[in-house]
Structure 1
Amino acid sequence: MKVNCINEKTYQLMDNGQCEGQLTYIKSFSRKAQITLKNQECYQIKPLGFLKKGISITYNDKEIATLHANWKGQIIINYPDKGKYVFKTKGLFNKSYTIENSKRKTVLQCKPRTKWGKLQCDYDISYCSMAEQSFILTGIYVANYYRIMVARKARSASL
């Protein structure tokens, strides 16, 4: 399974040449986004609250998950009905990203393939059988969010 970056706002989840879903950002480098699956299910992703420290994922106007960063540089994905998952980087220079469940079992792994000429990134995906397309695209959202956070920190450190 792969995720292809179509442009700076659109990522498509591909399985055997078929588009299974899409992650679309409202604007370039925005935290507001939408996940649309092949069956037309639609999820909204948007920052929480005034200070925008967390992120909410909703389906049919009902919050189904929240995201927030912790002090270890990880991103916590909390599904009230499915439990907590932890997004982590792996390898030297953050070669891949993983999402682990509460038992520390990897349920999703994303290996970025950077398109340097366009400053875009495709992903190779491996996952356990329980991972749904919406969860995989949420993982891509979190990977992109992490990459933007790291880039902002590096830029502010160089100023």
Structure 2
Amino acid sequence: MATYQAKSTNGLSFEVRKDGGIIGSLLYRSWYKFNAVITMADATYAVEPKGFWETLVEIRDGDDVLLSFSMGWKGKIVLRTYFNGDEQDYVFDHRGLFKESFALSDHEGKELLVMKPHLKWLKMNYDYEIVTTGSFETLKSKQILLLAALHCANYYLSMTMATLSM
């Protein structure tokens, strides 16, 4: 079990930290777009929406798709990873209204992490506290999955805000 913090300075950039050390960052290219760059100590990955409505998002290492996700009809985001030729499915789900949080679960429904957003009213952006399970901490690609979950939370919040403003 571990606790991570995702801090945003301007709503376009997030740093994920654990025990004061930087795990990685997520940098959006512009407002209202889902294109982003994930940077970790050993690699940089492109986050690119696909399709006419940009409902599918892929995380790429060059031409290789490492992870993709899309939002389902019930608001759940389904992630599929392709790490080292091994396909795995995960579900990213929103919980609660007043004490909202997000959870990432594996294909068997076993919870791997919980993210709690904290709205910074003056800057109108979010920071997140992320608590992971022991099972999550044993995953080989946990860092990119952690940053993908952060992108999923931002994606979910952006989509729901856009829906509410219509």
TM > 0.5: yes
Name structure 1 gaps, 5 residues minimum.
none
Q: How does 1:147-158 map to 2 (within 5 A)?
A: 147-156=157-166
Worse overlay, 47-56 or 18-27: 47-56
Match of 1:28 among 16, 31, 42: 31
* 1:77 aligned residue: 79
Q: How does 1:1-159 map to 2 (within 5 A)?
A: 1-39=4-42, 41-80=43-82, 81-93=86-98, 95-127=100-132, 128-131=136-139, 132-156=142-166
2: distance between equivalents of 1:94 and 1:151? 17
* CA apart distance, 1:150: 0.4
The superposition leaves residues 2-38 of structure 1 with CA deviations (integer Å, 9 ceiling, x where unpaired) of 0101212100011111111100001122110010002
The superposition leaves residues 66-98 of structure 1 with CA deviations (integer Å, 9 ceiling, x where unpaired) of 111111111111114241111111223461000
SS in 2 for 1:117: coil
2: distance between equivalents of 1:97 and 1:112? 8
User: Greater relative contact order (Cα 8 A, min sep 6): structure 1 or 2?
Assistant: 2
1: distance between equivalents of 2:153 and 2:63? 24
Segments of 4+ moved more than 6 angstroms: none
TM-score by length of 2: 0.88
Aligned-CA RMSD value: 1.4
TM-score by length of 1: 0.91
Paired residues, number: 155
Worse overlay, 88-97 or 58-67: 88-97
